Amino acid sequence: MADTLHFSLVSPEREVFSGAVQQVVVPGTEGDFGVLAHHAPLMSTIKPGLLRIFTGEREVRMFINGGFADVTPAGLTILAEDAVDLAQQDAAALEQQLQSAREELAAAGQDAPRRAAAQHALARLTALLAAFRAQ
Amino acid sequence: MPSLKEFRTRIASVKSTQKITKAMQLVAAAKLKRAQEAAEAARPYGERLAAVIANLASAVQGDGAPRLLAGTGKDGVHLIVVITSERGLCGGFNTAIVRLAREQIDALTRAGKTVKILCAGKKGRDQLRRTHGALIVETLDLSGFKVINAAAAALIGDRVQALFAEGAFDVASVVFSRFRSVISQIPTARQLIPAVAPEGVAKPDLQGGVYLYEPSEAAILDSLLPRYVNGQIFSALLENQAGFYGAQMSAMDSATRNAGDLIKKLTLRYNRQRQANITKELIEIISGAEAL
């Protein structure tokens, strides 16, 4: 068996994933990249998208909403604003959330903070759905 | 002397108050545990982010440094974010935070600086309004958040950064309560902007390698600093939340004990009064019998 990479995915609220993996494919702002064991030290920003974790036995697909990846000889660390396991999502529910986000945006009208929050939620859901479809 | 009936109603009412405070104490204890867990779970993110920032900040210095890190070059206008709780019944918790905020504000004012206040939490605003009402520029209401999450921190952080981008202030700091233990919460002030890179963070061992930056050091720092500021606010909010429940728990505990003492005292007086009444009646009967 090939060398494994230590990977941890951390969101502001908790540590989402931590453990030894084979490979991780990260949606970098300048293009997706795969990280294997013994990768050169790298820091990269991340765009909202699909994160694929190959643990060796199975593949975990997650949606991460922006953040930052840090590769050191000790392993890969991703700091994400928000991480969602795509296996626990379904398209119909996401569509519905997207619809209600659109309605919220329409309802927000001229209320600036509410409008900004609704736009933020809408952008997040759109990217989440795109990642869900792309997998 | 109050009548026996008055004593009985009084004792019954103190007893029901005691039940309420006891229940509140138990609820606060349960919530404290959850708040502590949340603070614990949030720690890895903050630590990693701080390590990366410290690392990058030393690489990007001078003119190229982002304004969130370098500041505006002045310190004429200060913004103080006062984080308190939305609810009371927690002893001197909010008062202690407000006292520290007042000291800071007065010290800055004496030094000839302009101070602006942003309140997060209703209780702090209520207390500050009396003395420094004119300085409060904004109040953010967090009561809509059932639990303190990253979105709540972003609400404050984004507002602070928007104000900074408008040039509304030069230096921002946050005043909140640090959670040390259930009985001890320490009011603390922490500088937010210009961001202070944490010290004493170990640099990762690259084993002779050199970091590759995508897109560039400055761009990464630019995208990370707002998150760092929000992260600092988030950790302040979580500490504050845990401190609030700790303070509420001990306040309710002493309220329950006070009610217990009061019940004991009232019961004693009630029994004495009852005894006195009986004795009085007996004397009346006996002296009536003797008179015959």
| 3-state SS record for chain A | CCCCEEEEEECCCCEEEEEEECEEEEEECCEEEEECCCCCCEEEEECCEEEEEECCCCEEEEEECCEEEEEECCEEEEEECCEEEHHHCCHHHHHHHHHHHHHHHHHHCCCHHHHHHHHHHHHHHHHHHHHHHHC
Model confidence, pTM: 0.85
Name the packing angle between helices B93-110 and B217-291 (round to 10°). Answer: 130
Ordered DSSP codes for B73-121:
S--SEEEEEEE--S---STTHHHHHHHHHHHHHHHHHHTT-EEEEEEES
Say whether B119 is catalytic. no
Lowest mean pLDDT among A78-87, A109-118, B229-238: A109-118
- Is A79 within 8 Å of B210 when comparing Cβ atoms? no
Top-confidence residue, B29 or B58: B29
Least CB–CB distance from A15: residue in B44, B155, B224: B44
Least CB–CB distance from A13: residue in B42, B158, B210: B42
Top-confidence residue, A27 or B202: A27
Q: Which of A33, A42, A70, A76 to mutate to test the interface with B (most CBs of B within 10 A)?
A: A70
- φ, ψ for residue B85 (rounded to 5)? -90, 165
Instruction: Break chain A into its structural domains and give their ranges.
Output: 5-86, 89-134
CA distances from B208 to A24, A37, A40, B14, B215 (A): 23, 16, 10, 72, 22
Burial A115-135 (b: 16+ CB within 10 A, else e): bebbebbbebbebbbebbeee
Residue-level pLDDT at B204:
67
Dihedral sign from CA coordinates of A101, A103, A108, A112? positive
Q: In 10 A of CB B188, how many CB atoms? A: 17
DSSP assignment letter at B65: S
Residue B160 CA to residue B169 CA, distance in Å, equals: 9
Q: Please, which residues have CB within 8 angstroms of residue B128's CB and are 6 or more apart in sequence? A: B82, B98, B101, B102, B117, B119, B136
CATH number for the domain running over A5-86: 2.60.15.10
pLDDT band at residue B175, thresholds of 50, 70 and 90?
very high
Q: Is the pLDDT of residue A93 over 70?
A: yes
B151-161 mean pLDDT: 87
Residue-level pLDDT at B133:
86
Looking up tokens 């309560």 gives B177
Q: Which residues of B touch A41 (CB under 8 A)?
A: 204, 206, 209-212
Q: Which of A79, A82, A119 to mutate to test the interface with B (most CBs of B within 10 A)?
A: A79
B263-288 mean pLDDT: 95
User: Cβ(A73)–Cβ(B208) under 8 Å?
Assistant: no
Looking up tokens 């030894």 gives A20
Residue B68 CA to residue A51 CA, distance in Å, equals: 30
Residue-level pLDDT at B280:
95
User: What's the mean per-residue pLDDT of chain B?
Assistant: 88
- The distance of Cα B84 from the centroid of its chain, to the nearest Å, equals 4
Give me the catalytic one of B90, B142, B221, B225: B90
Percent of chain B with pLDDT over 70: 95
Percent of chain A with pLDDT over 70: 97
pLDDT in tens, B219-247: 888 888 888 898 889 999 999 999 999 99
pLDDT band at residue B152, thresholds of 50, 70 and 90?
confident
Q: Is the pLDDT of residue A110 over 80?
A: no
Residue B59 CA to residue B66 CA, distance in Å, equals: 12
Tokens of B288: 């009536």
Q: Is the pLDDT of residue B181 over 90?
A: no
pLDDT band at residue B287, thresholds of 50, 70 and 90?
very high
B167-173 mean pLDDT: 91
Q: Which residues of A touch B38 (CB under 8 A)?
A: 13
Q: Is the pLDDT of residue A1 over 60?
A: no
- Is B213 within 8 Å of A44 when comparing Cβ atoms? yes
Q: Please, which residues have CB within 8 angstroms of residue B11's CB and are 6 or more apart in sequence? A: B263, B266, B267, B270
Residue-level pLDDT at B274:
95
Residue A8 CA to residue A11 CA, distance in Å, equals: 10
Closest chain B C-alpha to A89 CA, distance in angstroms: 21
- Is B220 within 8 Å of A70 when comparing Cβ atoms? no
- Is B227 within 8 Å of A81 when comparing Cβ atoms? yes
Least CB–CB distance from B41: residue in A13, A40, A77: A13
pLDDT band at residue B101, thresholds of 50, 70 and 90?
very high
pLDDT band at residue A25, thresholds of 50, 70 and 90?
very high
Interface of A with B (CB under 8 A): 8, 10-15, 28-30, 40-45, 67-68, 70, 72-74, 77, 79, 81-82, 113, 116
Residue-level pLDDT at B202:
64
Q: Is the pLDDT of residue A132 over 90?
A: no
Tokens of B2: 């109050």
Top-confidence residue, A58 or B145: A58
Q: In 10 A of CB B128, how many CB atoms? A: 22
Q: Which residues of B touch A81 (CB under 8 A)?
A: 150, 227
User: Cβ(B155)–Cβ(A114) under 8 Å?
Assistant: no
Q: Is the pLDDT of residue A2 over 70?
A: no
pLDDT in tens, B195-217: 877 766 666 667 767 788 888 88
Single-letter amino acid, residue B199: E
Q: What is the dihedral of CA B45, B48, B53, B54, to 10 degrees?
A: 140
CA distances from B78 to B164, B170, B178, B211, B215 (A): 11, 6, 22, 37, 33
Q: Which of A6, A8, A14 to mutate to test the interface with B (most CBs of B within 10 A)?
A: A14
User: Cβ(B149)–Cβ(B114) under 8 Å?
Assistant: no
Closest chain B C-alpha to A74 CA, distance in angstroms: 8
pLDDT in tens, B41-69: 888 888 888 888 877 777 766 666 788 88
User: Cβ(B69)–Cβ(B57) under 8 Å?
Assistant: yes
B72-84 mean pLDDT: 89
Q: Please, which residues have CB within 8 angstroms of residue B156's CB and are 6 or more apart in sequence? A: B81, B83, B118, B120, B140, B233, B237
Single-letter amino acid, residue A26: V
Residue-level pLDDT at A74:
86
Least CB–CB distance from B212: residue in A41, A81, A116: A41
